[in-house]
Amino acid sequence: MAKTLALITSVVLCGLSVVAGADEPPQWAVCDRIPASYPAAPDGAVVVDPVDGEVQRLTAANPGGTTFWLAPGTHTLGDDEYGQIRPKEGDVYLGAPGAVLDGRDRNRYAFVGDAKDVVIRDLTVQHFTAGRDEGVVNHDSADGWVIEHNTVQDNRGAGLMAGAGQQVLGNCLRDNGQYGMNAYKNGRLTGLVVAGNEITGNNTDDWESQVPGCGCTGGVKFWSVDGADVRDNWVHANHGAGLWMDTNNNDFLVEHNLFEDNEAEALFYETSYNARIHDNTFRRNTIVQGKAFADGGDDFPVGTVYISESGGEPRVPARFDEVEIADNTFEDNWSGVTLWENADRFCNSPANTSTGSCTRLVADPSRCVAPDIDTEPLRGDCRWKTQHVEIHGNRFTVDPAAIGCQRGCARMAVLSNWGTYPDWSPYQGSVVQQAITFEQDNVWHHNVYVGPWTFTPFEMSRVLDPAAWQAAPYHQDECSAFTLLPTAC
């Protein structure tokens, strides 16, 4: 008999529009395709020949605001592990076609110092040996840098660090030991733009295996960034998460990106606030991590978009007052969106893996202990909450056979654990399970599902079909449509 569609279990209502898969725009493929913009030295530029140490010598000899043109060839920085370039404010470094800045696995860092408004364009930067959580380009997280059309590859640590107002545009961030970029600054990191980059193959040193539970891997890691636009990037095949926003980030716009084949979460938003995740495409992500959980007997609902202790908070100023996940396309990932809140994780709890950090709502974190934490406002403000998350207008398609899955790879979840720790915690028992599931304005609606989707609210043992998910007491996915995959008869 001909191939037929299984019964649609929920009709399309309320003006639901189906989101089509986004075509891959040509600009998403950046690596090995960066155009040669500076075949000759611009007028007034200082020419840097590929002589060992020449770029440092000329940088030191010229005033701030100088433009340097690195001629074709391999530029090196001497044999000292701290051989490095220290720009002055406003310096510009332009690479000719074939200009390579090579650390030769001897130098730790390429560009260091606190000079503002430095520009780096059209260079290949490779083979530097930054340490864990350190970076090669803009090592000291200076402000106002423009890093554009570079290939930053095969380094240890992170390819880039980030400062306030930094623009990271059209780069190939490839095969670095820890991250493509580590957006961390000891101070306010605001106004970050990450656009049009290819971010691929990072975490080659497999840091989660070296330091289990370090939370220190992925394509890009963001820490306490207040205001970021992340758009039009191709984030793929990273050995860990694709993009990971960790600890007190706020005001993120993540749109028009393509996430493919990342081994862990495509997008991980953790202990952070206020974001719009809009019009992205997610394909074949989280399969390595999902299979590892399943093979180990861990039934936690691993998700391709993982929202952990994060949500909308109008008291933290931002362009948005919720976490909105809207108009995205999900194709053959390991599951969809997981909303999680660890009942034992809050300020001053030994279970808080963001060691020493507290929420952005508490002026005096030392008060987040008994007895003060037992009463409002501290009872509410001492914990990061997964709240005000709206998931709508998305298309979720998964064929378990296509990703080699036996079970557990077509799930949505909104859940917590039973609170137990520490003994003075006011969040013990089912307090947080009840809150995240029913009381914190976490809502799915107007989505399309294709495949054998199940839903896990409250706790891991509850696994619902679409009808139960839509019915009382959950009342989720109003005006959504559910279709099983085609079957051969």
State pLDDT tens for residues 446-469: 999 999 999 999 999 999 999 999
The tokens describing 143, both together, are 């402000």
Q: What percent of the chain has pLDDT over 70?
A: 94
Q: What is the pTM of this model?
A: 0.94
Q: Does a structural domain hold residue 3? A: no
pLDDT < 50 regions, the chain: 1-13, 15-22, 489
Q: What is the pLDDT of residue 146?
A: 98
C-alpha 430/C-alpha 184 separation (Å) is 35
The backbone region for 165, taken as left when phi is positive above 0, alpha when psi lies in -120 to 50, beta otherwise, is: left
Please report, for residues 142, 414, 462, the alpha-carbon distance to residue 459 in angstroms, rounded to integers and kept in the order given: 44, 8, 6
Q: What is the pLDDT of residue 8?
A: 34
Residue reference for tokens 């049009």: 196
Distance CA 288, CA 212 (A): 17
Q: Does residue 489 lie within any of the structural domains? A: no
Residue 17 in domain:
yes
The pLDDT tens digits for 270-317 are 999 999 999 999 999 999 999 999 999 999 999 999 999 999 999 999
Judged on CB neighbours under 10 Å (0-12, 13-18, 19+), 8 is: exposed
**Considering the domain boundaries, does residue 394 fall inside one?**
yes
Q: Answer yes or no: is 1 within a domain.
A: no
Residues 300, 219, 274, 357: is their CA dihedral positive or negative?
A: positive
Give every CB contact of residue 29 below 8 A, 6+ residues apart in sequence. Answer: 198, 234
> Does the residue 318 lie in any domain?
yes
Domain that holds residue 129: 8-483
Cis amide leading into 422 (omega within 30): yes
Residue 2 resides in a domain: no
CA distance 222 to 250: 10
Beta bridge partners of 276: 253, 324
The Cα 183–Cα 141 span in angstroms is 8
For position 213, what pLDDT does the model report?
82
The number of folded domains in the chain is 1
Q: What gap in Å lies between CA 162 and CA 148, rounded to an integer? A: 13
Domain assignment of residue 437, yes or no: yes
| Domain harbouring 312, CATH code | 2.160.20
